[in-house]
Amino acid sequence: MVTPIRKSRNGARDLKRNFLRNWQLYVLILLPLAYILIFKYGPMYGVQIAFKDYSMRLGYWDSPFAGVKHFKKFLTSPYFSRLMLNTIGVSLYSIVANFFPPILLAICLNECRNRFFKKAAQMITYAPYFLSTVIVVGILQQVLSHYGLVNTLLDVLGLERVSFLGDASLFKSIYVWSGVWQNIGYNSIMYLAALAGISAEVQEAAVVDGANIWQRIWNVDIPGILPTAVILLILSTASVLNVGFEKVFLLQNPLNTRTSDVISTYTYRIGLVDLDYSFATAVGLFQSVVSLTFMAVVNKIAEKTTETSLW
């Protein structure tokens, strides 16, 4: 019985010694840890109102229990099918459209030998990422308005002007491809890092074997970044029902509501406009659970097919 106690004491002593030796690292991790605890785990306390008829006067604990009434209300709502189709449609469209362009950009930048052109291309493609959503939507409204740049060019070419922002069928494409333009540079950074991690000896061996640039890209570069691409794809599926609220809300108008109304905008209306907090929380919880389940399924499929997964 003495040995386990001695090991326990030695373990505690080693832990203390390690903390004193690396205390700066522990201090650095305190801030992100506090952020996660306060802003990610802290709000989970309020999830309970999804199962109650919440009253601000009664508070969390004293509000009457409602069970799964609000979930049933949402699942049987006449808006449910439209919201799900719009949300999943925009999300899957965005995932597919945003998957290949960053890979192609990263490969092109990696193969570029003109240093000035490479730096200029990086700056031009990275810059839109740092624009706020409000500015991006403002640019879209100016460019795609009835008298904007695109319609002016169409008029010059003798074509009819198009109501881009008022045509419900065009909403998804405007939302998705403007997102591709804004995020392509930033998303390519991770692929550039993966390409930088490919051994130079492998590249040299391919050159010695007589492989041209296209063969090196196909047989060396793409296999090298495939694990990174799979991980990013799995992470993107986690947001399959979490379409960004700000951009959708700013682009939304009475003419395109048929295709632009998604779960996040619906939650905003019932939660902050109609003040139905319990119902809004139930919709948000449903959205999170479905997204988590979808990500777990995709992660399992990726593990079986590519042997790459998050866990």
pLDDT band at residue 139, thresholds of 50, 70 and 90? very high
35 within a domain of the structure (yes/no):
no
| 94 touches 241 (CB < 8 A) | no
pLDDT at 11: 67
208 and 79 within one domain: yes
pLDDT at 249: 92
113 and 235 within one domain: yes
pLDDT at 1: 44
DSSP state of 242: -
- Report pLDDT digits (tens) over 117-132: 989 999 999 999 999 9
Q: b/e for 280-309, b at 16 or more Cβ within 10 A? A: bbbbbbbbeebbeebbeebbeebeeeeebb
100 and 21 within one domain: no
pLDDT at 300: 85
pTM of full prediction above 0.85: no
CATH of the domain at 238: 1.10.3720.10
152 within a domain of the structure (yes/no):
yes
265 and 128 within one domain: yes
146 and 258 within one domain: yes
- Report pLDDT digits (tens) over 22-72: 888 888 888 899 999 998 888 888 888 999 998 888 888 888 998 899 999
DSSP state of 48: G
Decide if pLDDT at 101 tops 90.
yes
Burial of 7 (0-12, 13-18, 19+ CB in 10 A): exposed
14 within a domain of the structure (yes/no):
yes
289 within a domain of the structure (yes/no):
yes
pLDDT at 299: 82
170 within a domain of the structure (yes/no):
yes
91 and 209 within one domain: yes
Query: Which range of residues forms the domain containing residue 164?
Result: 65-306
191 within a domain of the structure (yes/no):
yes
Burial of 41 (0-12, 13-18, 19+ CB in 10 A): exposed
- Report pLDDT digits (tens) over 165-197: 888 999 999 999 999 999 999 999 989 988 888
77 and 20 within one domain: no
Q: b/e for 237-262, b at 16 or more Cβ within 10 A? A: bbebbbbbeebbbebbeeebeebbbb
268 and 168 within one domain: yes
150 and 9 within one domain: no
What is the tally of structural domains in the chain?
A: 2
38 within a domain of the structure (yes/no):
no
pLDDT band at residue 234, thresholds of 50, 70 and 90? confident
Decide if pLDDT at 144 tops 60.
yes
- Tokens 């099918």 belong to residue: 81
**CA–CA distance, 292 with 284 (Å, rounded to integer):** 12
Here the tokens at position 1 are 């019985």
Mean pLDDT of the chain: 87
244 and 101 within one domain: yes
What angle (nearest 5°) sits at the alpha carbon of residue 285, between those of residues 243 and 51?
155
**CA–CA distance, 310 with 173 (Å, rounded to integer):** 30
- Report pLDDT digits (tens) over 145-168: 888 899 999 999 988 999 998 889
45 within a domain of the structure (yes/no):
no
